[in-house]
Structure 1
Amino acid sequence: MNEISGRLEGESGLIDKLNTYFAGKIVRKDLTKKIKEGANVPVYVLEYLLGMYCSSMDEEEIEAGVRNVKSILAENYVRPDEAQKIISKLREKGSYTVIDKVSVKLNYKNDVYEAEFSNLGIGNVPIGEKYVSQYERLLAGGIWCIVQMEYFYDEADKNRCPFIIRKLDPIQMPSLDLEEVKAARSYFTDEEWMDVLLRSTGMEPSQFTKRVKWLHLARLVPMIENNYNLCELGPRSTGKSHIYKEISPNSILVSGGQTTVANLFYNMGNKTVGLVGLWDCVAFDEVAGIKFKDQDGIQIMKDYMASGSFARGKEEKNAYASMTFVGNINQSVDVILKTSHLFDPFPAAMANDTAFLDRMHCYIPGWEIPKYRPEFFTNDYGFITDYFAEMMRELRKISYGDAFDKYFKLGNNLNQRDVIAVRKTVSGLIKLVHPDGRFTKENVEEILRFALEMRRRVKEQLKKIGGMEFYDVNFSYIDQETFNEEYVSVPEQGGGKLIPEGMNKPGHVYTVSHGKSGMIGVYKLETQMTAGTGKFEKTGIGSDREAREAVDTAYRYLKANGRNISGLLSTTTKDYLMHVQDLNGIGMTKYLTLPAVVAICSVALNKPILSSTVILGDLSIGGTIIKVEELANTLQVCLDSGAKKVLVPITSAVDLGTVPSELIGCFNIIFYQTAEDAVFKALGVE
């Protein structure tokens, strides 16, 4: 009982704060729900009216305001099935005010702009040039407006349109003082502010875990960050497209089907910029249906997603719209990860184009968001959505991409595209949760971890599709004070350790040894085999002569002794490609011969090594097994990296006395005597 009353007191305290610092800019969201069910208008249209008439704490005033809004919608909102009734009223009265979605096109034969009313079903209505130049979005998909119309039928000129637009006002907040928002933010705790943001989108935060709250907020980043590319795939009924269709008049949802370069980017015929120049966010619903009529459509989209510019004709155009891709995943994530990859729902031209997918800054795991139930929608106070949309629009002008530089630096597995993606996500979430720019080290660390995970999800899938080109997926960040390095995992891929649990692919081997810097680190060998003539190629080693010699020694050893292991192992009819990764960034190691022998045998026999296993020790040119240096320290690194089993040369058995017993107890230690013995035991062959 005390817990419930405490929560209620907290809620009333939050409402008091909202009423104090955002008076006239908040609305009770259950009012939106009640009216929304009877009127098929976007939320921001409804709340524009509710903000005018119901922005109060007084129940009687609210009730009167709701009656007023219902009356306005009943009288002025045009339902498609009642269009003729409204037109008749307009004719009878001579003037009438309507709420409708208005789009405009240029009739170049007569050199006049003409408006089309979506629900009213009338077109070719002359509209003044001042409206078109003032509200350019009328030309790109249209916007909801309150329009004062007149009707005048001219007997003398029967070809003249009888409908006249006397006054047109887009349904949007006139202005916003961002400094006022920043000043007010300091009076709210982080949790309170996140709850207000979620309620402003219509959701009830008390029904969600902290993780699900962050996933909902991530959906808003394309609206608050310029040129942000986001993807969310997940089950149906989780609100993926709702946010882009209903919450902001600054975003447009392109529903399925075909689109054109002219519509999206630039129409060379009438020299007008497409959707990306007129909206803050262009969202594609049902990604499986995306199809360009133009052959160069995806190429231009890739160019735009990478640089925020595109070339059409003789000139290059810049735009700031973010790109969002949402769609459905019909199978469980486990099944998809085993059979294909998480971008599979995209059309084949996109799903197999690694250059296109690499431009995604964030992949929201839609399968983690529960299917919406009635209690997920709030009855509490939040910002009027139009006010909230303007707030996000103003915040697009600033960036907090460097927010974490004071406290952390990024690990060495992040390339330039990864860094840009992480910085953009961090910037967007900081602007949402800390618009005043005040945040602690803990605040920014939480957001940084989230941003790294969202980008790593993209990279993991690229690795599945594109192979070794995208090997560097072990994302991490380093504390500038303690120099501790923290690795960030994606939940569906297993733990955050360098050596993951579960079976690896054949040819994937982990070893732990000394690097060039003298430190002990983890190295991963990934090997691929194709039909060929016995070529052996190495990547990832760079110009390190000792490391190159070590893996060459392994191949020469197998050429001479491969038959002792298996008749299936061929160094004449197969080609091998080996990539070596320095997972800790401590410099390449020269102790690679034995791990390379195991890796080549694993891929040749199409048999993975045992789960969570590390190969220790090495092999000399003459075939002698070399024992492990600093066994105790090496085993500690194995433990920290997630290893459960270690293959140790029998020559190192004498050094086990130097290893603490509790450390030995953490592993299943498997001893081997020869290189062949190591291969059989690593592959689990008796």
Structure 2
Amino acid sequence: MALETPSPLDQKILEHFPGLVVRKDLTTELKQNAVVPTYVLEYLLGQHCATDDPAQISEGLESVRRILAKHYVHRNQAELVKSTIKERGTYKVIDKLTVELNDKGGFYEVEFTNLGLKKVPIDVDFIKRYPKLLVGGIWAITDVEYELPADPKASPWQISSVKPIQVAGVDQDEFLAARAKFSTDEWIDVLMQSVGFNPEPFTRRGKLLTLIRLIPFCERNYNLLELGPKGTGKSHVYAEFSPHGMLISGSEVTAPKLFVSNANGKIGLVGYWDCICFDEFAGKDKKVDKTLVDIMKNYMANRTFSRGIEQLTAEASMVFMGNTQKSVAYMLKHSHFYEPLPDKYIDSAFLDRIHAFNPGWEVQPVRHELFCTGYGFVVDYIAEVLKHLRTEDYTGLYKAHFHISSEVSTRDQTGFEKTFSGLMKIIHPNGKAKPEEIAELLEFAMECRRRVREQILRIDDTFKANDFAYQPVGGGPAVTVLTPEEQQYPAFAGLRPLNPEGAPEITSAEAVIPTVAVSTPANTEPAKEQHLVVPENTKGWSYRRLFADHLRGCSAIMIRDPYIRAFHQIRNLVEFLRMVNEITPVGDEVTVHLITGSDQETMEKQVENLGQVQDSFASTSTPFSWEIDASPNFHARSITSDNGWKITLDRGLDIFQFFEFSTFKAEAAIQEARMVKGCELSFIRKPDENK
């Protein structure tokens, strides 16, 4: 493998954290063949490839490959591995182990996830040493033995050793001394690389939006909500980053599994894990146990839950991740940001316990160039650092420099203080930072809590509205913190007049909030029925000129065109969607559905491209869907809208002649600059079915 020269930051990481870093693209390469969490791979890479020496990396990489090839259990090779254990008598395997108590026999039994072995006895000493075996299980290197027992009912499989795949411990003083060698900007980039992202494409705010996902690992009982489009890597950190986190489906958890079983008194996930992430949390079709919601509300507020009359406590943080289907403007204008959640969770008491709402719609979709090729911490090392920091409390560190100058509720203050504390631990683990750095994190934390509060106001008018503002201790103007969406869409956000007392204030953006136009000016001429002939080889035509007047005011469009297959045809579709998007009033939504045809030669690429279009427009004001009609008689092409118009097109959307695409050519950016094919269109008003 060809290796690039490490960057100055990479060299600095290698110098000050020797043996604790790894090249992140090696992890990506290995994951193609082994479906194991990142921390498992990087545990092995950290032992063999924690260097910048090309020869040692190549040799270490081969060693890790050999270990995985020899000991990692693929499901489809489970029988072969069992046979190897039987023939050799003992063998090391890398697999996930989960333990249950056999209450009738009074002993513990292991289940191997990939190897498929169940009810394998395990010594109680392993359970005492690694209690997470009982809840969720752990990845480990295990010595498995085979010997036929005298008792035919007993298991022939035995476990002689269990070694969890995780860093043994961290010297916190050494960590803090090494952290001091990095500037704040450098350290943020180190953390981004450690999470697996190349920091260069991210803005400073984009980095904070990513790093806030680490707070549940270093802050006890922290409750984070993130909703946004799919494909932004929301659950990546919780699935791959730490052996102290558990990722579960939001619809697969029960009260006994999460908290405690009244049947046997067994403590659930919150008693064993630092962070529990509910993936795919949104969805109106999810079945939700109201009892679970009530228990969660109590736990999220005061860390307690009950088993009968006994009160129990735990420190697990809660993270809720889900996908949104509507644009930010649409949700602000017509509903609220919690709208995608199951109805039983759209409960102001539950939502008020959320400390921060991370705006997932601002997070960049995961794509190849975002992945890190430089060096970052072996994720298990930084996970252990964050676990240690759970014992620290940085919530009040801002008070030496700033005070909260607005009336906020106790929950609001607790919310942004915990977020601030977590960000300080992650970025400034020694608790020391410049006043301007403290202000940056405090403002970001207040914004994330303000988003929680402002959206609750939309569903519960018993909650009190208030401003979020802070002020330097030594005097100076108060800074009122607004969310970006409030600044972008003040007409929909319901902004209240700031500063009724008349004291000097500035907004968090330090700028006047712009007025947002909520509609696109329409042609004063009413749309009319007509037959239009577009002459061959002419210019000056565009989808906007042809279709906009007849599509304004609709909320749904159906395109029937059997030839949206080739790249240029799908590019035409994207330009049509962009035109519809431009004429749609801000905060409204127009759904566009395509019915098209296909053929065997192009179907695979066509499906891939249409899928990308659907994903990319999902959170815009023009959500797109499509289907393929295989009927051989499918020829007619039309655009039908729910505002009463049908447009027939003899060429469909494919009206432009070929042009050589270049970013710098007018034809690429301006449809009117293109030569057209001759075509004819008919604009027909459909009869009103309600008359």
TM-score, normalized by the shorter chain, greater than 0.5: yes
8 Å contact from structure 2 (residues 37, 240) kept in 1: yes
Residue in structure 2 matching 1:486, options 479, 484, 487: 479
The aligned counterpart of 1:644 is: none
Residue in structure 2 matching 1:344, options 309, 315, 339: 339
1:296 is paired with a residue whose SS is helix
The aligned counterpart of 2:578 is: none
CA–CA separation in structure 2 for the residues paired with 1:504 and 1:393: 38
8 Å contact from structure 1 (residues 149, 164) kept in 2: yes
8 Å contact from structure 2 (residues 478, 504) kept in 1: no
- Structure 1 residue 512: deviation in Å? 8.9
The one-letter code of the counterpart of 2:383 is A
The aligned counterpart of 1:313 is: 308
With over 3 angstroms needed to count, the CA separation of the structure-2 counterparts of 1:197 and 1:504, relative to structure 1, is: closer
CA–CA separation in structure 2 for the residues paired with 1:429 and 1:396: 12
For normalisation by structure 2, the TM-score amounts to 0.70
With over 3 angstroms needed to count, the CA separation of the structure-2 counterparts of 1:504 and 1:197, relative to structure 1, is: closer
Which 10-residue stretch deviates more, 256-265 or 159-168?
256-265
- Structure 1 residue 62: deviation in Å? 0.8
Q: Which residues in structure 2 correspond to 1:190-339 (within 5 Å)?
A: 190-288=184-282, 295-339=290-334
Q: Spell out, residue by residue over 1:443-501, the C-alpha distance to the aligned partner (whole angstroms, 9 max, x if none).
A: 100000100100000011001111252322x2110111124211011111226xxxx84
Q: Which residues in structure 2 correspond to 1:42-61 (within 5 Å)?
A: 42-61=37-56
Which 10-residue stretch deviates more, 269-278 or 142-151?
269-278
8 Å contact from structure 2 (residues 224, 355) kept in 1: yes
Larger Rg computed on CA atoms? 1
- Structure 1 residue 344: deviation in Å? 1.2
The aligned counterpart of 1:452 is: 446
Q: Spell out, residue by residue over 1:169-205, the C-alpha distance to the aligned partner (whole angstroms, 9 max, x if none).
A: 1111001011111111111011110011111111111
CA–CA separation in structure 1 for the residues paired with 2:182 and 2:323: 36
Q: Which residues in structure 2 correspond to 1:524-543 (within 5 Å)?
A: none
With over 3 angstroms needed to count, the CA separation of the structure-2 counterparts of 1:132 and 1:292, relative to structure 1, is: farther
The one-letter code of the counterpart of 1:444 is I
CA–CA separation in structure 1 for the residues paired with 2:498 and 2:412: 26
CA–CA separation in structure 1 for the residues paired with 2:405 and 2:212: 23
The one-letter code of the counterpart of 1:211 is R
CA–CA separation in structure 2 for the residues paired with 1:300 and 1:306: 10
- Structure 1 residue 122: deviation in Å? 1.0
The aligned counterpart of 1:419 is: 413
The aligned counterpart of 1:502 is: 491
The aligned counterpart of 1:148 is: 143
Residue in structure 1 matching 2:109, options 114, 124, 129: 114
Residue in structure 2 matching 1:376, options 357, 370, 373: 370
The aligned counterpart of 1:360 is: 354
Residue in structure 2 matching 1:467, options 457, 461, 471: 461
Q: Which residues in structure 2 correspond to 1:627-638 (within 5 Å)?
A: none
- Structure 1 residue 305: deviation in Å? 0.3
8 Å contact from structure 1 (residues 459, 470) kept in 2: no
1:398 is paired with a residue whose SS is coil
Q: Spell out, residue by residue over 1:36-73, the C-alpha distance to the aligned partner (whole angstroms, 9 max, x if none).
A: 11110000000000011111221111111100100111
CA–CA separation in structure 2 for the residues paired with 1:465 and 1:242: 31
CA–CA separation in structure 2 for the residues paired with 1:367 and 1:503: 17
Which 10-residue stretch deviates more, 265-274 or 301-310?
265-274
Residue in structure 1 matching 2:70, options 71, 75, 82: 75
Q: Does 1:400 align with 2:383?
A: no
- Structure 1 residue 292: deviation in Å? 7.2
CA–CA separation in structure 2 for the residues paired with 1:503 and 1:100: 52
The aligned counterpart of 1:534 is: none
Q: Does 1:99 align with 2:94?
A: yes
The aligned counterpart of 1:681 is: none
Supply the RMSD in Å over aligned alpha carbons.
Answer: 2.1
CA–CA separation in structure 2 for the residues paired with 1:13 and 1:281: 34
Q: Which residues in structure 2 correspond to 1:556-575 (within 5 Å)?
A: none
The aligned counterpart of 2:611 is: none
1:400 is paired with a residue whose SS is coil
Overall identity of the aligned pairs, in %:
43
CA–CA separation in structure 1 for the residues paired with 2:105 and 2:458: 56
| Bigger helix share | 1
- Structure 1 residue 333: deviation in Å? 1.1
The aligned counterpart of 1:40 is: 35
The aligned counterpart of 2:84 is: 89
With over 3 angstroms needed to count, the CA separation of the structure-2 counterparts of 1:399 and 1:164, relative to structure 1, is: same
With over 3 angstroms needed to count, the CA separation of the structure-2 counterparts of 1:25 and 1:163, relative to structure 1, is: same
- Structure 1 residue 357: deviation in Å? 0.3
- Structure 1 residue 502: deviation in Å? 2.7
- Structure 1 residue 157: deviation in Å? 1.8
The one-letter code of the counterpart of 2:486 is Q
With over 3 angstroms needed to count, the CA separation of the structure-2 counterparts of 1:59 and 1:422, relative to structure 1, is: same
The one-letter code of the counterpart of 1:150 is E
8 Å contact from structure 1 (residues 261, 292) kept in 2: no
8 Å contact from structure 1 (residues 258, 292) kept in 2: no
With over 3 angstroms needed to count, the CA separation of the structure-2 counterparts of 1:315 and 1:35, relative to structure 1, is: same
- Structure 1 residue 288: deviation in Å? 2.6
The one-letter code of the counterpart of 1:462 is I
8 Å contact from structure 1 (residues 207, 376) kept in 2: yes
8 Å contact from structure 2 (residues 332, 492) kept in 1: no
The one-letter code of the counterpart of 2:236 is H
CA–CA separation in structure 2 for the residues paired with 1:417 and 1:22: 39
The aligned counterpart of 1:651 is: none
Unpaired segments ≥5 residues, structure 1:
1-7, 523-686
8 Å contact from structure 2 (residues 74, 115) kept in 1: yes
1:45 is paired with a residue whose SS is helix
CA–CA separation in structure 2 for the residues paired with 1:210 and 1:257: 34
Q: Does 1:477 align with 2:470?
A: yes
The aligned counterpart of 2:654 is: none
CA–CA separation in structure 2 for the residues paired with 1:308 and 1:509: 34
Q: Does 1:24 align with 2:19?
A: yes
With over 3 angstroms needed to count, the CA separation of the structure-2 counterparts of 1:512 and 1:84, relative to structure 1, is: closer
- Structure 1 residue 256: deviation in Å? 3.3
1:237 is paired with a residue whose SS is coil
- Structure 1 residue 166: deviation in Å? 0.7
Q: Which residues in structure 2 correspond to 1:180-195 (within 5 Å)?
A: 180-195=174-189
CA–CA separation in structure 2 for the residues paired with 1:237 and 1:511: 37
1:267 is paired with a residue whose SS is coil
8 Å contact from structure 2 (residues 288, 344) kept in 1: no
With over 3 angstroms needed to count, the CA separation of the structure-2 counterparts of 1:148 and 1:504, relative to structure 1, is: closer
CA–CA separation in structure 1 for the residues paired with 2:9 and 2:315: 35
CA–CA separation in structure 1 for the residues paired with 2:406 and 2:250: 39
Unpaired segments ≥5 residues, structure 2:
507-691
Q: Spell out, residue by residue over 1:620-643, the C-alpha distance to the aligned partner (whole angstroms, 9 max, x if none).
A: xxxxxxxxxxxxxxxxxxxxxxxx
With over 3 angstroms needed to count, the CA separation of the structure-2 counterparts of 1:521 and 1:111, relative to structure 1, is: closer
The aligned counterpart of 1:638 is: none
CA–CA separation in structure 2 for the residues paired with 1:263 and 1:371: 33
The one-letter code of the counterpart of 1:240 is K
Q: Spell out, residue by residue over 1:570-626, the C-alpha distance to the aligned partner (whole angstroms, 9 max, x if none).
A: xxxxxxxxxxxxxxxxxxxxxxxxxxxxxxxxxxxxxxxxxxxxxxxxxxxxxxxxx
CA–CA separation in structure 2 for the residues paired with 1:509 and 1:340: 18
1:97 is paired with a residue whose SS is strand
- Structure 1 residue 337: deviation in Å? 1.4
The aligned counterpart of 2:613 is: none
8 Å contact from structure 1 (residues 26, 51) kept in 2: yes
